[in-house]
Amino acid sequence: MPELPEVETVARQLHPLIKGTRVVVCRTYDPKLRLSAELLKGAEVRRGFRRGKFVVFELADSRGRTSFLAVHLRMTGRLLWTDSAADREARKYLRAELELNRGSLLFCDARRFGTMEIFATEAEIPVRGVDPTAELFTLEGLRSMLKGRRQPMKLWLMRQDLLTGVGNIYASEILFRARISPRRTAARVRPDEVPLLFRSIREVLSSAIKHCGTTFSDFQDARGTAGGFERFLRVYGRKGEPCRRCKTPIKRIVQGQRSTFFCPNCQK
């Protein structure tokens, strides 16, 4: 389940591979993806980067006009780079294929929740919230986003219209480090707790990026290999196992039809 660190990992790995290549042809195998092959044909790929949870490719057509191909991996989407035909045949759940002059970019997605769309400008990519890894995200900004919000903190952290990029795994991890119960209402986070929450958001995400993301069930990077953050997970997926701080068994609850993991002793 790709969240900000996983998407960042994919974008960083793809960038040097696709930079300067040209689109030979775009093939789609899923009618759900209404991707215009015409728009892509012959375009030069200028760069690959992350915006929110989108992997974005900046394209330039023959006249130098730019456009942006934004890929959202949602649950099970993968962007895989391959330069071998045999390898290409082996890929399962292939929904689209961007054949470039130096290899192919495959979009594989078992559950077909992912999206691919071309935008004329970067600003049109539908990312609403603040990127928590950016300078624009500040302690005071966090305070004002918490103000008056009546949602439990776990659900609040996953709101993409406030902060962009936190998903189910990192929401639990951030709250463990911030020592805040996932059930606590956002507005009830005390002023003196906000700095630790702020640091927890930034540190969990930057640490996960450093380790190329978490491979829990669905994530693979651009070469089809695993991320390395699993061994740093303190609560996610550890129901019944002892808390690494206090040995209390980790609890699993359901919030908004999703699993939340936390330590009932460390997090109040």
Partner DNA sequence: ATTATATCCTGATCGC
Partner DNA sequence: TGCGATCAGGATATAA
| Residue with Cβ nearer DNA (95 or 177) | 95
Residue ranges in contact with DNA by CB under 7 A: 1, 3, 32, 52-53, 72, 74-76, 93, 110-113, 126, 128, 148-151, 155, 158, 160, 167-169, 254, 256-259
| Residue with Cβ nearer DNA (27 or 32) | 32
Q: Tell me if residue 2 is catalytic.
A: yes
The one catalytic residue in 50, 51, 53, 184 is 53
| Residue with Cβ nearer DNA (2 or 48) | 2
> Which residues, including other chains, have CB under 8 Å from residue 5's CB and lie 6 or more apart?
170, 205, 208, 209, 212, 213, 214, 227, 229
Q: Tell me if residue 53 is catalytic.
A: yes
Token digits of residue 116: 């691919």
| Residue with Cβ nearer DNA (93 or 119) | 93
Query: Rounded to the nearest whole angstrom, what is the least distance from the CB of residue 68 to DNA in the complex?
Result: 16
Give dist(CA 91, CA 238) in Å, integer: 31
| Residue with Cβ nearer DNA (43 or 209) | 209
| Residue with Cβ nearer DNA (17 or 263) | 263
Query: Rounded to the nearest whole angstrom, what is the least distance from the CB of residue 41 to DNA in the complex?
Result: 26
Q: For residues 184 and 217, is the Cβ–Cβ distance under 8 A?
A: no
Q: Tell me if residue 258 is catalytic.
A: yes
Q: Tell me if residue 3 is catalytic.
A: yes
Query: Rounded to the nearest whole angstrom, what is the least distance from the CB of residue 83 to DNA in the complex?
Result: 26
Token digits of residue 49: 């980067």
The one catalytic residue in 3, 8, 44, 97 is 3
Of the candidates 151, 169, 146, 160, the residue with the CA atom closest to the CA atom of residue 230: 169
The one catalytic residue in 2, 5, 132, 152 is 2
For the stretch 208-216, contacts whose Cβ atoms lie closer than 8 Å and that sit 24 or more positions apart, written own/partner, are 208/4, 208/5, 208/170, 208/232, 209/4, 209/5, 209/8, 209/9, 209/133, 212/5, 212/9, 213/2, 213/3, 213/5, 213/6, 213/8, 213/9, 214/5, 214/6, 214/169, 216/1, 216/169
Query: Rounded to the nearest whole angstrom, what is the least distance from the CB of residue 144 to DNA in the complex?
Result: 12
Residues forming a β-bridge with 56: 49, 70
Q: For residues 180 and 197, is the Cβ–Cβ distance under 8 A?
A: yes
Amino acid at position 43, single letter: A
Query: Rounded to the nearest whole angstrom, what is the least distance from the CB of residue 236 to DNA in the complex?
Result: 8
Give dist(CA 234, CA 261) in Å, integer: 9
Query: Rounded to the nearest whole angstrom, what is the least distance from the CB of residue 148 to DNA in the complex?
Result: 7
Catalytic residues: 2-3, 53, 258
